[in-house]
A and B are shown apart, each in its own frame.
Chain A
Amino acid sequence: MRKHPRTTVGLPRLVGLVGLVATATLLAACGSDDGAAGGATGDGGGAEPVTLTVFAASSLTAAFEDLADQFEADHDGVTVELSFAGSSDLVAQIQQGAPADVFASADQANMDKLTGEDLQGSDPVEFATNTLEIAVPPDNPAGVESLQDLGGDLNLVVCAPEVPCGAAAQQVAADAGVELKPVSEEQSVTDVLNKVTSGEADAGLVYVTDVAAAGDAVEGITFPEADSVVNVYPIATVGDSEHAGLAQEFVDLVTGGEGQKVLDGYGFGAP
């Protein structure tokens, strides 16, 4: 009898705390939801405000932000909403009915998922390429100079083979006959890059554009074997788009001279 209160009174306090956290999280989630809805309808400004929704692979973030600004400047009353995520997540969202007008994928496989269900508006067009590059911390502690050096004794971080950048890394290494012994196989290219910028990893295999975007935080080391695996980016309008004309114009901007110049500036190759 005496022991009983001692055993249980600790828990209610904890439960209360957990409840508080849960409530706060829920409120925060609701709040952000409202914000997004407000943003989607409230902007515009032109005579007939139109919002064009572009789903693009995360690696395109900086380039597509520039292109969206350009598109808005050229089209009065049009707001471009950009949604960046992994290509597989984006295509899954479109399959579930997300209101996208344009889809730009980081690989062919995910674009194939879209066309496989006949959800595209226009046929996919290849608009950019990306290859792998070695990223090392600015002082290059392990003295990495080539792909072969990655087979040595160092803290190497790559993407897991399950994600596109990891599959590419595996392929490049196999083609070159280098055995990689990574200390970590990360979920995304961003995770790999973070391990390098924080100095935890001596080297990481990421895309050329990631090295360019990271600026001074990492040093990039190109290697000739990278050309054996070229990642191609396709773009297409989405079939259910209510602004098919505008969506096509956005695709034309990306694939046209202007768009190619912007993409080149961020390190992407021409298709």
Chain B
Amino acid sequence: MARHQRQVGLPRWLFVPAAAGALFVVLPLVAIVARVDWPDFLTLVTSESSLEALKLSLRTSAASTVLCVLLGVPMAVLLARTSFRGQGLVRSLVLLPLVLPPVVGGIALLYTFGRRGLLGESLEVLGIQIAFSTTAVVLAQTFVALPFLVVSLEGALRTGGERYEVVAATLGAPPTTVFRRVTLPLVLPGLVSGAVLSFARALGEFGATITFAGSLQGVTRTLPLEIYLQRETDADAAVALSLVLVVVAVLVIGLARGRAT
């Protein structure tokens, strides 16, 4: 995996917009760090409501990442390895949450799983209430995070090609064995980075959660919701918690890159 030296030079002017772009992303993060009330940082971040919000965020994001893997892997495999009529349309629809404003996702979920929603009434009969529960948070997060997993895994599957799978099949391996022993191990790095991206997206979910799940400490109030609420009364706490979320996100991305390369 040696890095080879570039032979073709890059145009110099490319560096200016590239640096501007990097600055555009980094500067606001620096601004958060600069604005943090450091002497009170620990007190602000370790308040009961903050810790509960952080725990809930990590718990629900982990759950939705698992859901994303369980649902997203088969979706990505079918999209990459089969062709059927309307496949392009299906792919576009699956990717829709990626470009949809999350609040729209929240409204859509509300009218699906809400008490008076499409499925809500049947669920109610079964004694299941999703609205205002932690389950609702997980559903909202899964809805917005799933496309991240599908996109990165489908890409990995397509570039990987089918050579090894074909060989395994000709050697007599049944489809499940091929999938388990050849396909999955080959795309594992792509799967990991997709899962990490999904986790990060779930961690940052706000719009769909506040629209669909509500906001109650320890049950549905995740860290982004807590930050938004703290902003009303305690700007210092909101900034401190924002920094926590930035740090968690950086750790997650760092972990993903470390694992994938």
B143 in the interface (beta carbon within 8 A)? no
Contact of B228 with A195 in the complex, beta carbons under 8 Å: no
Contacts of A21 in B (CB 8 A): 98-99
Residue of A nearest to B261 (CB): A7
User: How far, in whole Å, are A239 and B260 apart by their CA atoms in the complex?
Assistant: 59
Against A, the Cβ 8 Å flags (1 = close, 0 = not) of B188-229 are 011001100100000000000011011111011100010011
Minimum CB distance partner of B101 in chain A: A25
Instruction: Give, as a whole number of angstroms, the nearest-CB distance from B213 to chain A.
Output: 8
Question: Shortest distance in angstroms between A20's beta carbon and chain B's nearest beta carbon?
Answer: 9
Q: Is the CB of B229 within 8 A of A14?
A: no
Q: Is A191 an interface residue (CB 8 A)?
A: yes
B-side contacts of A17, CB under 8 Å: 95, 98-99, 151
Contact present for A7 and B190 (CB under 8 Å): yes
For the complex, what is the distance from the CA of A1 to the CA of B233, rounded to whole Å?
Answer: 54
Bound together, the chains give a CA A184 to CA B130 distance in angstroms of: 13
Would you call A99 an interface residue if the criterion is a C-beta within 8 Å of the partner chain's C-beta atoms? no
Report B169 CB to chain A, min CB distance, Å: 19
Question: Which of A12, A194, A199 has the most C-beta atoms of chain B within 10 angstroms of its own C-beta?
Answer: A199
Chain A stretch 70-113: residues in CB contact (< 8 A) with chain B: 86, 88
**A206, chain B: closest CB distance, angstroms:** 15
Query: Which residues of the partner chain A approach B131 to less than 8 Å between Cβ atoms?
Result: 155, 200
Residues of A within 8 A of B98 (CB): 17, 21
Q: In the bound complex, do residue A7 and residue B132 qualify as a contact, i.e. CB atoms below 8 Å apart? A: no
A235 at the B interface (CB under 8 A): no
Decide: B152 and A14 in contact? CB cutoff 8 A: yes
Known interface pairs A6-B189, A160-B229, A198-B116; A13-B132 also in contact (CB < 8 Å): no
User: What string of 1s and 0s marks CB contacts (under 8 Å) between B90-129 and chain A?
Assistant: 0000010011000000000011001110000000000000
Contact of A11 among B114, B152, B211, B233 (CB under 8 A): B152
Given contacts A4-B1, A88-B232, A184-B132, contact A195 B189 (CB under 8 A): no
State which size class the interface on B falls in.
35 or more
Check: A42 CB closer than 8 A to any chain B CB. Answer: no
- Kindly specify which of B6-14, B62-70, B153-161 makes contact with the partner chain: B153-161
Q: Is A187 an interface residue (CB 8 A)?
A: yes
> What is the count of residue pairs linking A and B with beta-carbon distances less than 8 angstroms?
108
Interface size on A, residues (CB 8 A): 34
A185 within 8 A of B: yes
B135 lies within 8 A of chain A by Cβ? no
Knowing A3-B189, A7-B189, A10-B193, say if A183 contacts B116 (CB, 8 Å).
no
In whole Å, how far is B21's beta carbon from the nearest beta carbon of chain A? 10
Q: Does A68 contact B (CB under 8 A)?
A: no
- CB pair B189 A13 closer than 8 Å: no
CB distance from B211 to the nearest CB of A (A): 8
Tell whether, in the assembled complex, residue B155 and residue A10 are in contact, meaning their CB atoms are under 8 Å apart.
yes
| CB contact list, A196-220 vs B, under 8 A | 198-200
* In contact, B230 and A199 (Cβ under 8 angstroms): no
Contact A183 B187 (CB under 8 A): no
Output the nearest chain B residue to A5 by Cβ-Cβ distance: B159
In the bound complex, residues from chain B placing their C-beta under 8 Å from that of A184 are: 132, 213-216, 220
Q: Which residue of A lies closest to B228 (CB)?
A: A187
Taking CB atoms, residues of chain B closer than 8 Å to A1 are 1
Contact with A along B157-176 (1 / 0, CB 8 A): 01110000000000000000
Please state if B186 and A3 are interface contacts (CB–CB under 8 Å).
yes
Which among A6, A88, A155, A198 has the greatest number of chain B C-beta atoms within 10 A?
Answer: A6
Bound-state CA distance A155–B230 (Å) is 24
- Which residue of A162, A182, A191 is within 8 Å of B233 (Cβ)? A162
**Whole-angstrom CA separation of A199 from B117 in the bound complex:** 9
Q: How far is the CA of A86 from the CA of B217 in the complex (A)?
A: 23
Pick 10 A–B contacts, CB within 8 A, sort by A: A5-B160, A9-B155, A10-B154, A10-B190, A162-B232, A184-B132, A184-B215, A185-B216, A185-B217, A198-B111
Given contacts A10-B152, A185-B216, 16 further A-B contacts (CB under 8 A): A5-B159, A5-B160, A7-B261, A9-B158, A9-B159, A10-B151, A10-B155, A10-B156, A10-B159, A86-B232, A183-B216, A185-B215, A186-B215, A198-B116, A199-B116, A200-B214
Closest 4 CB pairs of A and B: A184-B214, A10-B155, A7-B189, A10-B152
